[in-house]
Chains A and B, each alone.
Chain A
Amino acid sequence: MIKIEKSEFGTFIRDLSAEYKLFAPVGEGRQSAFREVSSADQMNTSIQMTQNSPKTVFLPQTEVLFEFNGDDIQSGEKAAKPMFFWGVRSCDARGMNLLDKVMGQSKQRPDDPAFQDPYWKARFDNAVILTLACHEPASTCFCHWTGGNPFSKEAGDLWAVETETAYLIEPLSEKGKDFVKTLSGYHTASDKDKQEIKTLKKQAESCLRPAVDAKILKEKLPKIWDDPLWDEVSAKCVNCSACAFICPTCYCFDIQDEGKKDKGKRFRTWDCCMFPIFTKEASGHNPRSLARERVRQRVMHKFNYFWETYGESLCTGCGRCIRVCPVNLDIRDVAKQLLEAASAV
């Protein structure tokens, strides 16, 4: 385990930004996000969680797929300088892995590149993600419901924890190991440091609130598919898309063409299943015309459908949707209500 003293941190970041396109948490409050930085003072090192997740870099809101001018077609795919992400929390790191299951790997046809998104792969395959342990989970955090933990080492290429005087870093993946090999001149972590990690982990876990086991919820959800409880649960939802846009694992997109005559572009842009017209068909029929159907779909997708297909929860428990919802529709309360109803069946 490498130890980077806080006094060395500025130089470390400067060197890092020379080798990589370095992304780190920048900004405050609702405009905070992962943005490119070239020095440590551009970073917000005290933020618990950015409002906008790293998804905004890996799956940007708008992405040009290709541009055309007459017969000349320019693909939007660009070979990017490898990216390094500093300060990603474990919920977001898990989120990017989940997105990779959909966009990068292809469960249906693992060896067929036609099922892999080249734009995603160009970015994600070349990125090094450093998962930073979370000292003070917010009251809205519930990563432990879905098998996560503030100090989880489940996702990312490197894992780091901030102590009083230093950052302690260890590799998690092959990419991480290769990266650590390039670091020289730093101390290694002492036993005292490792003891401090244990204390910090306990402190972090004490901030977490009582959990609901999402696995049990997943098993029981299909039982209450038609329950009138969904009307109650969805009553206050106003069908905006704040939750989906801010969610690190929502990946639905719309594709549009824009241009004039023989010059234009095709791009994709985030879409949201909460919009009433999301499932509107050309005939005018809309299979999810009611709010209860859309809210049910969102909850099922996160806590059941994805689990059935890919083996884990699509929700990582980051809590951003809870903070951003204009009507305070709290997914935790919804989960508890559903579990109660499902257990009664």
Chain B
Amino acid sequence: MIKALREEVRRLFEEKKVDLVIGWGKGSLPMTATPVFIHKAEDVEQLIWDETCSNNLAVYLTKDKRQLVQTNQKIGIVVKGCDGRSLVLYAVENQIKRENLVIIGVPCNGVIDKKKVLKQTEGKEVLSARFEKERMVVEGRGFKTEITKSDMLSRSCIHCNHPNAPVYDIFIGEPINTDSDVAVYPDVEAFEKLDCETRWKDMVESYSQCIRCYACRNVCPSCYCTECFVDQNDPQWIGKSPEITDTLIFHLNRNLHVAGRCVECGACERACPADIDLLRLNRKISKEILERFNFTAGLDIDEKPALASFCENEKQDFIMG
């Protein structure tokens, strides 16, 4: 499959169909891929595709990287299902011109979360990792162990039912058949069942670890405002220190801003240097939006985002009168 990917990209350059291709390359650490920017056919050998390719590359089409879109006529981008949904979101929100993108879809069976691997090795550093079908063999100084794929799958991939990019120009290999199109949220439902006190305590304990580095915001493709509410100082919406109230409000408001736009790619959670379960609020919101408005972000280029549209007759059980 990697060969097919490289061939396709080489062909795109030879036929002058792209000026730049954004994909994944081998990183400098085991189990890590890194974003690569290919400008010519000779460099296509850098491209890889496997379960370490976790970054959502759509993020390089907006924000501070806007000049890439402005200076390159045609950009090719390799995407998994969730990343492809981000591209649909961008098309819906007029952040990119669809005709200037060559979307290269790859079939995704989930990506790994390195933190989960470290839990399996009890914190011991992994010096080499090798994939063998549904397992990964990891070795370090004085140990060698096997980890099953399901034990190291990123939280965002466990319940994923959109493994293929919804819109693409080229697809490498065969799109994956999912058993069901219905989204499930057992993790959200379990948390909802707890009582109010417990939920609050859990939130405080979890989010107290936040150091407000904003890595979650910066890797999120849906967060592309040129001026984030966090950086406004007239009025200043939240304080700069990691006081729990400011931290919680930052996360609540960021998730509200991506409500109905989050594609649950999990980039936020994987980027967090403090291991916080960041997807939990996003998934709660996605569940509500799906149940109330029958809407899922990033699937249909012609559908308006959930919070930018309305239906006259809607469930309003939470409103008095």
What residues make up the interface of A, taking CB atoms closer than 8 Å to B?
Answer: 28-31, 47-48, 51, 61-62, 136, 138-140, 207, 232, 235-236, 238-242, 245-246, 254, 256, 258, 267, 269-270, 272, 275-277, 290-291, 322-324, 326-330, 332-333
Contact = CB atoms under 8 A, between A and B. Distances in A.
Nearest to B236: A256
Contact of B27 (A31, A235, A328): A328
A240 B59 CA distance: 13
B115 interface: yes
Contacts of A47: 123
14 contacts: A30-B115, A30-B274, A62-B242, A136-B141, A138-B125, A235-B60, A236-B35, A238-B59, A240-B217, A256-B240, A256-B241, A275-B231, A326-B219, A330-B28
B218 interface: yes
Contact of B29 (A139, A235, A239, A258): A139
A242 B218 CA distance: 10
B151 interface: no
A327 B55 contact: yes
Contacts of B175: none
A157 to B, nearest CB: 28
B141 A242 contact: no
Contacts of B267: 326
Given A30-B115, A238-B215, A242-B215, 13 more contacts: A28-B123, A30-B273, A136-B141, A235-B37, A236-B35, A238-B218, A242-B271, A242-B273, A269-B241, A290-B64, A326-B267, A327-B35, A330-B29
Interface stretch (B1-9, B194-202, B206-214): B206-214
B13 to A, nearest CB: 18
B109 interface: no
A323 B241 contact: no
A140 B239 contact: no
A236 B33 CA distance: 12
B273 A238 contact: no
B37 A242 contact: no
B127 interface: yes
A276 B33 CA distance: 25
Contacts of A140: 29
B65 interface: yes
Contacts of A329: 34
A31 B118 CA distance: 13
Nearest to A139: B127
Contacts of B63: 238
B270 interface: yes
Contact of B211 (A61, A236, A258): A61
Given A29-B115, A236-B34, A277 B239 contact: no
B192 interface: no
Binding site secondary structure of chain A: loop
Contacts of A138: 125
A239 B64 contact: yes
B28 A240 contact: no
A276 B273 contact: no
B32 interface: yes
Interface of B: 27-29, 32-37, 55, 59-60, 63-65, 67, 115, 118-119, 123, 125, 127, 141, 209, 211, 213-215, 217-219, 231, 239-243, 267, 270-271, 273-275
A62 B209 contact: no
Contacts of B270: 326
Contacts of B274: 30-31
Instruction: Pick from A232, A256, A272 the residue with the most CB of B within 10 Å.
Output: A256
Given A29-B275, A326-B215, A236 B37 contact: yes
B28 A322 contact: yes
B218 A277 contact: no
A328 B33 contact: yes
Contacts of A245: 211, 213, 273
Contact of B34 (A136, A239, A324, A328): A328
Nearest to B246: A258
B219 A240 contact: yes
Instruction: Pick from A48, A140, A236 the residue with the most CB of B within 10 Å.
Output: A236
A277 B229 CA distance: 12
A61 B242 contact: yes
B99 to A, nearest CB: 24
Contact of A328 (B29, B65, B213, B273): B29
Pairs A-B, 6 closest by C-beta atoms: A326-B271, A240-B215, A240-B218, A328-B34, A62-B241, A330-B28
Instruction: Pick from A61, A232, A238, A277 the residue with the most CB of B within 10 Å.
Output: A238
A280 to B, nearest CB: 8
Contacts of B60: 235-236
A29 B119 contact: yes
Nearest to B267: A326
A248 to B, nearest CB: 14
A47 B122 CA distance: 10
Contacts of A51: 273
A291 B214 contact: no
A242 B67 CA distance: 24
B31 to A, nearest CB: 10
B259 to A, nearest CB: 22
B240 A254 contact: yes
B234 to A, nearest CB: 11
Contact of B37 (A232, A239, A241, A276): A232
B275 A30 contact: yes
Nearest to A235: B37
A241 B59 CA distance: 16
